[in-house]
Structure 1
Amino acid sequence: MLDWYKKAEGVDSYPIEKDPGVVSVKKIYTYYKQQNIPTQVMGASFRSIDQVLGLAGCDLLTISPSLLTQLEQDTRTVDAALDANKAKQAEAIVRPAQDEQSFKDELNHDLMAFQLLQGGVDGFIKARDQLSLLLRQSFGIDAEIKS
């Protein structure tokens, strides 16, 4: 998300409190905790330790080895940026009920979400096709993996 917004808006960086990815994960986390939806929210694809620290307290974080090394050397005190109890007490995030058409409409009005979702789906299709080819070559299997 950060890369997309930086390119789209022609900026080099965002302060962490306005980082689009951090803001998005915080909003998602808050919504799921407020709704008592039993799920774990996971932040990923971090570009900096500031992003990681901006989501400290999130249920799960995937952090690259290079950022883990930087975090290990960082001397700042880490305070939880996310907390389930605080999320439940925050201003309520209200989302209307959604059906397939309203989802499509909302997605079509958010260029970033549309492009990144399409890119992710395309990536999974490419990986599936590569796996299918590898299996056929390795095991002499004629069948293809169907979605």
Structure 2
Amino acid sequence: MNQLERLKKYTTVVVDSGDIECIAQYRPQDATTNPTLILKSALSKKYECVVNEAIQYAKKTGGSKSTQLQNASDMVSVGFGKEILKYIPGYISTEIDARLSFNTSACVKRAIKLIDLYREQNIDTSRVLIKLAATWECIQAAYKLKKLGILCNLTLLFSFAQARACADSDVFLISPFVGRIYDWYQKNKTDNSYFSNSDPGVLAVKKIFLYYKKYMYKTIIMSASFRKVEQILELSGCDRITISPDLLNVLKNQTCKFNRKLDIDKISTISSKPTPLSESEFRFLHNQDAMAVEKLSEGIRQFSHDQIELEKFLLSLF
């Protein structure tokens, strides 16, 4: 048994990719995309049909050039999601424009639009998760969307305050970014020794896992953004783990045994939950974590940049 097969015994494995061929190869339970992955796939000649269909859709719906561009961009994301769903039995996570990350009503509106686009493509929308950055505004949007029957994946999650606020709002799923937390601490330390059980990204997820399971929150924890196989194995037993194709391939070709690290059955539970964080408490606690503040801002900037690059590419095709 290789490590990928063993990992699947403890954890639901998700592929983090916009490459349809890769997803077809690994056949994960779920898959996730983001603006960076969508941009990379859209620029590939392999997926010209997805891009062309989005352009034709935008032209058909009409409106101003900016409206058509937004419609084409949204349809590209939906088009990739539609194709990916052919190869997985579970959820596809589709991310909205990161430039909306501080506007609750705009996030709700765009999420509804994406779900409607999936519905127009005859997709079972119960299999679609809307990805939002884990800002206070997006967490509130996720709360409102769940009341409308739309489930969300809160991404770019770095602080414990973000995790608490998501649990308070009964968010369906969160994506703590293990690798980006690791990156920040690597950049800011002088000791080059590495131990997976003391990796700051790993410890962040373990803290969230213990808290969620102790207080019986239903929010799913999907660890994401890995740099090392050791990080993945150290979190075996996490609800879900989303893995890049490169690391999936490493796991597939290694057979060293490992033990389950996270086990809900070993955690004592408490029926009463902590008092939910207020907005001011959330902002203060999140702001106390320099790493989380920097990485959340950086992530939103990066995804916004790639969204703009995608729009420039699509505009050149009109």
- TM-score, normalization by structure 2: 0.39
- Deviation, 1:18, is 0.7
Counterparts of 1:33-112 in structure 2 under 5 Å?
A: 33-86=213-266, 88-89=267-268, 97-112=276-291
Higher RCO, 1 or 2 (CA under 8 Å, sep at least 6)?
A: 2
- Deviation, 1:53, is 0.7
Give ranges in structure 2 of 5+ residues lacking alignment: 1-180
- Specify the code of the residue in structure 1 equivalent to 2:258: V
- The equivalent residue for 1:119 is 298
- Deviation, 1:136, is 4.0
- Deviation, 1:50, is 1.1
- Deviation, 1:27, is 1.1
- The equivalent residue for 1:143 is none
Asked whether the 8 Å contact 2:222–2:238 carries over to 1, the reply is: yes
Equivalent pairs, count: 136
Identity %: 38
**SS at 1:41's partner residue?**
strand
Over the aligned positions, Cα root-mean-square deviation in angstroms equals: 2.3
**SS at 1:46's partner residue?**
coil
Distance 1:136 1:104, change over 3 A: same
- The equivalent residue for 1:145 is none
Structure in which a larger fraction of residues adopt strand: 2
- TM-score, normalization by structure 1: 0.78
**SS at 1:9's partner residue?**
coil
- The equivalent residue for 2:48 is none
- Deviation, 1:17, is 1.2
Q: Distance in 1 between matches of 2:302 and 2:269?
A: 36
Distance 1:68 1:132, change over 3 A: closer
